[in-house]
Structure 1
Amino acid sequence: MTTEVKVPTLGESITEATLGQWLKKVGDTVAVDEPIASLETDKVAVEVPSPVAGTIGALVVAEGDTVEVGALIATIEAGGAGAAPAAPAAKAEAAPAATAAQQAPAVPAKTSDALAPSAKRAAGETGIDPSTVTGTGKDGRVTRIDIEGAAANAKAAPAPVPAQAAAPASTAGGRKEERVRMTRLRQTVAKRLKEAQNTAAMLTTFNDVDMTEVIAARTKYKDLFEKKHGVRLGFMGFFVKAACQALRDIPAVNGSIEGDEIVYRDYADISVAVSAPNGLVVPVIRDAQDLSVAGIEKTIGDFGKRAKDGTLKMDEMKGGTFTISNGGVFGSLMSTPIINPPQSAVLGLHRIEERPVVVKGEIVIRPMMYLALSYDHRLIDGREAVTFLVALKNAIEDPTRLLIDL
């Protein structure tokens, strides 16, 4: 019996997606609920599970195609393991030439590994053949890190160097270009960020913060914290907690404009940027004002793990009231972050750098961080923006304030 696999419901207001990659090929056996494909939506990658146990009969669309909710993407021939090999053979004989052409791009060179777009780009940039790389990802898939690691090893090895040097000789003086289709996530990010620039009266104000006390607290308690809570004590827990207190005192920064009305909130749903295979995603810490530093760190840790696994849900990306983006983990010294509509402000954190500062009339070396608050000037005045950053600065420089609610 042939079972059709269709694009599942992807969430409110999402009507289409891009077929990011096939995780199975024609003839592969699958179990019930085993992922067979990955769909890229506007926000996250969603895996499509097999509705039945059987054998992949046909892959109807190719990687990179846009598919609508409810569209047919594959067929599965149900049956026992013994009958499984015969099913795809019969299907292949009856399949038209067009179907075969559609299936061809979906079969990876190394059949046990389905390459993600980031891994494909890395392979193209480094010239590494994915079939020669041992995958460390889920189900043995080759990841971008695997490709880059293989490239680094190839540069270090003495033998491959002459071969690599010989390749450019055949195209001496030539210049290469590569065109890669934007992922749906990147298209949506580009569109929303440009809309934010066109709509909001965006302005950025800066301050700096002495991280001495937070670093000391983290150094003193990080081992006990991890032992008790099962998660590492980072800096984001302090900043989210401090931001919640500052948002309570300066409600405009946590508000938004809807038509000719301003919406003020007595809760803080904090969006935090975390890394995913296809770029940054921004899940939301709900009711962050009610969480302890430990609760915040646990939530962020869970988001980070599931972002890498591709298991974040779309509902977890919606409804944030304020965003914190930490460019410091990538080495950023200073930036002007862009607001994520309909939010009215975003806080940018940057790298910690030892700098000379004057304390009580003496020049001392302190670990300093620049803070940047981009905000919609239609709603938030400069005085409110500066007051928010000063409140945040005071809480970080004296973490006791977070405990006694000052």
Structure 2
Amino acid sequence: MNLIPYGRQDIDDADIAAVAEVLRSDFLTQGPAVPRFEQAIASYCGVGHAVAANSATSSLHVACLALGVGKGSIVWTTPITFVASANCALYCGASVDFVDIDPVTYNMSVDRLEEKLLAAKKSGSLPSVVIPVHLCGQPCDMAGIHALSLEYGFRVIEDASHAIGGTYRNEPVGNCRYSDITVFSFHPVKIITTGEGGMATTNDPELAKRMRMLGSHGITRDAREMTREPDGPWYYEQVELGFNYRMTDIQAALGVSQMRRLDEFVSRRHAIAGRYDESLRNVNVTAPWQHPDGYSGLHLYVVRLHSNMQGSIHRKIFDEMRATGIGVNLHYIPVHMQPYYQKIGFNAGDFPAAEQYYETAISLPMFPALTEAQQDTVVSTLRKLVNQQEVKIPS
């Protein structure tokens, strides 16, 4: 059986040649490819600075630290995301809370955010940082979130792990017009890949400098930041407790090469999504809705089963699609439902829109090399399984 994965990387000969060139060079780790990749991202996004890391999780961590997140800080994010969007604050000693999702876009609801901020102001528990997540690649309502940040005094980190190549109000995601920092992921199933890797963008040179230092052991070679005169040209000082979060030249070379095809990848994803939209019109599922303010990176294509097909029926459709070789997935289990987060006080029922989403969502295969024949297989199988369940459900 040939499995149709839900996502996969697209590597061509130029990508392989770029990596091979680094392997034959003098630099495998901290050479010229990393700053070249950083500049490629900064130029593409129209942002002042880009700081590479070995993962988006690492980028989120140093972004929080750079913004002063620590013990006593409160960070809010969405429950429908990968756990790293919340864990990054816990790494800093902060506490985490969540804002329920918009039931149409599946992103953080600005209405719920405003309600929660009003309550938090009264109780003296306002967040210091809010991390909206551009789920599936669709940009959040960043103008609305930014307006609230000015009113309530919190900083904003965009988790754009799904969204490179997308736009918001006709400007690139990652330009940080409405945020302090934006973070991208280059995991193999993301829109472009470096194998593993992340990038944080910002227009604030001080934040960029701090993230760069924190991601490299807290070490500086800048004499202006040292406590005394350098002993010589070899001299460096550790001025903070940092981490080894550096991206290698091998990874960065692949990233630079992949950037050549970023727009092509996103365009192809939109063609696939358009074909899904058309093919699913006669299938009793809810296709993704795209807000007119944004052009999605379309990392994922998530359909929703109707509420009468949740629970065991949802599981049955999921299992049977996988049994036929279709690698569907589910993005994501609500973070507050994870055992670790339940141990620290979260409970079922805390974020009902997120929980309802989880009960009915299925991520269909979405990657540039997906063929029309494979897509037809996905749609026909889903249609058959949904129709079978509808016959069994009493009206």
- TM bucket, shorter chain: under 0.3
Higher RCO (CA 8 Å, separation ≥ 6 residues): 2
Q: TM-score, normalised by structure 1?
A: 0.27
Q: Given the two structures, how large is their TM-score scaled by the length of structure 2?
A: 0.28
Q: Please state which structure has a larger fraction of its residues in strand.
A: 1
